[in-house]
Amino acid sequence: MTETLHDSQWIELDAAALRKNLAVFRRVLGSGVQLAAVVKANAYGHGLAEVAPLVATCADWLAVHSANEARSLRALRVDLPVLVMGFVTPSDLEGLDSRTHVFASTLETLSWVGECRRRCGVSLPVHLKVETGTNRQGLRLEDLSRACRVAAEEGVKIVGAATHFANIEDTLEHEFAQRQLEEFRNAVGLLSKETGGPLQHVHAACSAAALLFREADFTMVRVGISAYGHWPSRETQLSWILEHGRNGLGLTPVLSWKTRVGQIKRVPEGETVGYGRTWRALRPTVLAVLPVGYADGYPRSLGNRARVLVGGVPAPVVGRVCMNITLVDVTDVPGVSVGDEVVLLGSTGDACISAEELGSLSGSINYEILARLSPLIPRRVVNTSP
Ligand SMILES: *Cc1c(COP(=O)(O)O)cnc(C)c1O
């Protein structure tokens, strides 16, 4: 073993893969369409501090959920324009700079942005979030004129319009998305009239839409999961293949999660393993004890379900996943010893444990597996030479 043993677990981020995935979007997008890389939720669990400087060299914008995340980006000396897409309180807005644009989904937000301008002297550009059928955030079409009046009274600049699709990842039928697009086009037309000119920033697409619908490009797309090398869903991948007759996109997962064998444990035939005694050794068994658990983001529901890679060989997780400990059966893996590297998420040669596999085994999706990875796990950026 050439590597030092100082981390019991770590996350590796493939810088070249991240650049390549963003280049995939440059290739599929219409010319002149801006690319916003979504780095909310600690860059989908990858690590904001590591990911932000990398994507800042290949995206036009960064998009986050909260005002705090926007401040973190500035603290990391990222000076791209930033889009704050989520709910903000009046005090959240203090200390943001005028290259930080905020979504407004309510009239209150417009007043708060006005108040912030009067108090702090910073005029935050606003993108109105338009309700087109997701019924989560957003102003309905009939409320847009009023929003423009409130913005004018408050001295707030509306520079953009945005919406978000409700049903694009979960289906091969895209007529609801098309309806949302039509509603959005109407809203954009209306807003352009109200604000006296075409809006500078108009955007609707997440990864799935950016991959599948050129008509959802407008001036910008907001790409999250696929920048990190993942298809948003099986359905999106199938839709792509049906359209293009092949799976030639070349998205490459950026993240691998690794740990080490902390201890080898021999269990006699017939004995049970772990909390609740949910697994019984049907033969003399060799277990590897891994110093990782649900507190790190390895879901408890993966107990007796998932596999890890030990020396490139799949080894099943046995018994319950604990807060900081997971047990795997390495009886069939030759020559395992303490300190050996174990892949929880990622590949060794041809063998691969994907976020999609862990998502589906735990009754969830790749997004949740990634987003819940503990920010405390050390991150290492690899493959950095351009
Ligand atoms: C998270 C998010 C996105 C990115 O979605 P992906 O499916 O990860 O590409 C885009 N827009 C909004 C409003 C979001 O909240």
Q: How confident is the model over 308-339, as pLDDT tens digits?
A: 999 999 999 999 999 999 999 999 999 999 99
Tens of each residue's pLDDT in the chain, 386 residues? 445 567 999 999 999 999 999 999 999 998 999 999 999 999 999 999 999 999 999 999 999 999 999 999 999 999 999 999 999 999 999 999 999 999 999 999 999 999 999 999 999 999 999 999 999 999 999 999 999 999 999 999 999 999 999 988 888 888 999 999 999 999 999 999 999 989 999 999 999 999 999 999 999 999 999 999 999 999 999 999 998 888 778 999 999 999 999 999 999 999 999 999 999 999 999 999 999 999 999 999 999 999 999 999 999 999 999 999 999 999 999 999 999 999 999 999 999 999 999 999 999 999 999 999 999 999 999 999 87
Mark out the alpha helices in 155-268 (DSSP H runs): 175-195, 207-212, 234-244
Please tell me the distance from the alpha carbon of residue 331 to that of residue 284, in angstroms, as a whole number: 8
One-letter amino acid identity for 36? A
- Ligand 1 centroid–CA 85 distance in Å is 9
pLDDT score, position 5: 63
Q: Whose CA is nearest to atom 3 of ligand 1?
A: 206
Beta carbon of 225 within 6 Å of any ligand 1 atom: yes
Beta carbon of 206 within 6 Å of any ligand 1 atom: yes
- Ligand 1 centroid–CA 224 distance in Å is 6
| pTM of the shown model | 0.96
Please tell me the distance from the alpha carbon of residue 124 to that of residue 117, in angstroms, as a whole number: 7
* Residue entry with tokens 């030479």: 385
Beta carbon of 207 within 6 Å of any ligand 1 atom: yes
**Which are the contacts of 91, defined by CB distance < 8 A and separation ≥ 6?**
none
Helix (H) or strand (E) holding 83: strand 82-84
Beta carbon of 222 within 6 Å of any ligand 1 atom: yes
Residues 327, 333, 337, CA angle at the centre, nearest 5°?
A: 70
**Catalytic residue chosen out of the listed positions 20, 44, 157, 275:** 275
Most informative mutation of 21, 25, 38 for ligand 1 (most atoms within 8 A of CB): 38
Interior/surface letters 186-218, b for 16+ CB within 10 angstroms, e for the rest: ebbebbeebbeeebbbbbbbbbbbbbbbeebbb
Helix (H) or strand (E) holding 10: strand 9-14
If we measure between CA atoms, which residue out of 202, 259, 206 comes closest to residue 228? 206
Catalytic site includes residue 40: yes
Name beta bridge partners: 161.
128, 202
**Catalytic residue chosen out of the listed positions 20, 40, 193, 228:** 40
- Ligand 1 centroid–CA 38 distance in Å is 7
Most informative mutation of 42, 167, 206 for ligand 1 (most atoms within 8 A of CB): 206
Beta carbon of 379 within 6 Å of any ligand 1 atom: no
pLDDT score, position 4: 57
Please tell me the distance from the alpha carbon of residue 178 to that of residue 173, in angstroms, as a whole number: 10
* SS3 label, residue 75: helix
Which pair of tokens denotes residue 90? Answer: 């009046």
Please tell me the distance from the alpha carbon of residue 332 to that of residue 307, in angstroms, as a whole number: 13
Q: Are strands 9-14 and 326-329 parallel, antiparallel or unpaired?
A: unpaired
Domains of the chain: 32-244 (3.20.20.10), 255-382 (2.40.37.10)
Distances (CA, A) of 304 to 201, 276, 288, 308: 49, 12, 14, 12
Is the torsion defined by CA of 11, 382, 49, 358 positive or negative?
Answer: negative
If we measure between CA atoms, which residue out of 305, 306, 308 comes closest to residue 347? 308
Please tell me the distance from the alpha carbon of residue 245 to that of residue 240, in angstroms, as a whole number: 8
Catalytic site includes residue 193: no
Q: Give yes or no for a contact between 44 and 371, defined as CB atoms under 8 angstroms apart.
A: yes
- Ligand 1 centroid–CA 221 distance in Å is 9
Q: What confidence tens digit (pLDDT) does each residue in 84-107 have?
A: 999 999 999 999 999 999 999 999
